[in-house]
Amino acid sequence: MNKKDAIERLNKKAEKGDAPSQYLLGRYILDAGGSKKKLEQGISWLQKSAEAGHALAELHLGQCLMVGQNMKRNRKRAFALIQSAARKREPVAEYLLALCLEGGEGTAQDIEAAIAWYRKAARSGEPRAQTRLGLAYLEGGGAPRSPKTARIWFGKAAARDDPDACFFLGHLFLTGNGTRQDLTKASHYLHKAASLGDEEAATLLATLLAMGESADDEPKKKPAKKTRNAPKK
């Protein structure tokens, strides 16, 4: 089956009310881009799928509404859609719901609820949620301060190539915070973070090199306490 035939088949199923097909068709149209009319058609299919309760359609439509992409911005409606998708156990929606609750986007700020949703998303394997949860334990923001527990969550996210997690994990090994100091592991995770595009990790590595640090030497000067802000959305 060629691409044209596949799209025609998808369109027929969408017109018959099949929510997964409506979602896939809407995403295909939006990803392909085009005229305003074409993009509106893509949004329309997403709306039909979301109205039928399709979690991924609710999630994507909520994201569009939150930032005003291809439709008028509406944070409250965006929050409601993301919340609905999260309640269907969609990991990315769980993570985004936590972000909304933490930042008061489309709803009242609720740190306790945010941490609860970060934890759900983290347990579902969402690496950005794992990093946020680790940061909460590291800083004691909404969770009991525990660098050791933070290291565990950073480790899970780092294994899934989250650059922020690699940076924070590298810094924990560098300072011996929540774990035994290990310059070899610190170097490994900081290099990994830098390779994933983390500029601060690259800067820290350059600073350590200038200080004469290596994996085989004891640090000549204790690194400064980590004060980096939470990772970006």
Q: What digits encode the pLDDT tens for the residues 27-74?
A: 999 999 989 999 999 999 999 999 999 999 999 999 999 999 999 999
Instruction: Look at 214 and 104; give whichever has higher pLDDT.
Output: 104
Q: Residue 66: count other Cβ atoms within 10 Å of its Cβ.
A: 22
Q: Are the C-beta atoms of residues 77 and 65 closer than 8 Å to each other?
A: yes
Spelled out in words, what is the top-level CATH class assigned to the domain 134-233?
mainly alpha
Per-residue pLDDT, 4? 85
For helices 55-67 and 36-51, angle between their N-to-C axes, nearest 10 degrees: 130
Look at phi and psi of residue 176 and say left if phi exceeds 0, alpha if psi is from -120 to 50, else beta: left
Distance between CA atoms of residues 66 and 78, nearest Å? 5
Burial of 206 (0-12, 13-18, 19+ CB in 10 A): exposed
Sign of CA dihedral 49, 63, 134, 185: positive
Would you give the DSSP letter of residue 220?
S
CA 93 from chain centre, in angstroms, equals 10
Per-residue pLDDT, 231? 60
Per-residue pLDDT, 233? 54
Mean pLDDT of the chain, nearest integer: 91
For the chain, the structural domain boundaries read 134-233
Q: Are the C-beta atoms of residues 170 and 205 closer than 8 Å to each other?
A: no
Per-residue pLDDT, 186? 93
Distance between CA atoms of residues 20 and 12, nearest Å? 12
Q: Are the C-beta atoms of residues 79 and 113 closer than 8 Å to each other?
A: no
Distance between CA atoms of residues 179 and 25, nearest Å? 49
Q: What digits encode the pLDDT tens for the residues 134-189?
A: 999 999 989 999 999 999 999 999 999 999 999 999 999 999 999 999 999 999 99
Q: What digits encode the pLDDT tens for the residues 77-91?
A: 999 999 999 999 999
Nearest CA to 58 out of 11, 19, 31, 17 is that of 19
Nearest CA to 172 out of 218, 231, 223, 229 is that of 223
Q: Are the C-beta atoms of residues 15 and 45 closer than 8 Å to each other?
A: no
Q: What digits encode the pLDDT tens for the residues 213-228?
A: 544 444 444 444 444 6
